[in-house]
Every structure is written in C-alpha cells, then in structure tokens.
Amino acid sequence: MAAELVERPLPKPSDEGYAEARLLEALVEARLALRFLKEGLTRNAAGKAFQAWKALLATLLRLELDKLKAIVKTEEERRWLETTAVLRVPTTKMRALTNMLEELGHSVLMGTLLALELHDYQYHGPDPDMANSKYTTREEAVTDIRRLTAEVARHVETLRGRVKWGEELEKALQELKQALSTNTP
C-alpha cells in the first residue's frame, strides 16, 4: 500500500501535485476502509470511506476551481473556495460544494450523501431507533462502505486524463480494485 506516500506533506492547493496527492489519499483511505471491514472494524471503516470521499471531493474542487469561482457571486466566496474549500472540504459544506460540482457535470451527489451518512455511523454505530445514525444494523453500513469505496475507484479512474497519472496512482487503484473484488468481511 502507498501509505508512506500519503504521509508526505501535502502540496499546497496551488501546486501542480495537489490533485494527484489527494487522489492517492482517496485510494489509500478507501483501501484502508476495506481492510478495516475485513477485520470487523465497521465504524473505523466508515470513517476511512468518508475520508476517501472527502479527498476525492478535494481533488475535484481543485481541478474545477476556475469554473467554481465563475459560479459564485462574490469575491469573498471565491477567496473561500481557494483558501478553505479545496484545502479542507468542510463537512458542513460538503453538500453545497457537491451541488456546485454537480452543476459542472460531476455525478457526486450519491457519494456525498453516503459519505455523510457513514460519517454519522462512524460516531454513533448502528442505531435501531435511527435517532443518531440512519443505519439500524452493521450490515447496512457494510453495504454502503463497499458501495462508497467502489464509487471512489470509479471516479478516480475517470480522472486519468486530467491529472498526472504515475505508477503510484496506478498501483493504488489496482490494489483498491483487487480489494473490492475479494473483500468479504
């Protein structure tokens, strides 16, 4: 796994390598989610699947930054996109940022909705009353963790021509696809 590559300092969003670094992070986090599932750590897996999706959104936000800045109405919003949205992808703003990416033609709404539900599951676990989590059983969360990690792999693959695609990304993508095809907790 490319864990040591993800541990390097993250390039600044303005740097050329930022999108590639975040894509690699998305793949590694998704792979860890599947590993945690295999080890029976469903809540940890939910957290990793969420982080994988968040890293993918950061990549898309960076790649589409100029178009996103053209959508917003104020200079303050443009500055926020550059300084906060791309770098942090605040959880409370994921839905709004997703809507903007959807407006640009990226089909990321379902993934974001799953990621946010899994984020709740990470903290609250299965909840038969559905007061704190939309998952009543562990098995429901497992299904969505697999679904979200597969979405990460699918989206990453579509970005091959938009980012510098090196051996590290290819290896991480193949490892994730292999884990998806064999993962049975």
Number of domains in the chain: 1
| Domain interval for residue 27 | 3-182
Instruction: Specify whether the CB–CB gap between 149 and 4 falls below 8 A.
Output: no
Give the single-character DSSP code of 134: S
Does the pLDDT of residue 4 top 80, yes or no?
Answer: no
Q: Among 101, 65, 94, which Cα is nearest to 82's?
A: 65
Does the pLDDT of residue 184 top 80, yes or no?
Answer: no
Does the pLDDT of residue 174 top 90, yes or no?
Answer: yes
Mean pLDDT calculated for residue range 127-133: 90
pTM of the full structure: 0.94
Mean pLDDT of the chain: 94
| Residue 13 identity | P
The CA distances from residue 57 to 29, 51, 87, 135, in Å, are 13, 10, 10, 24
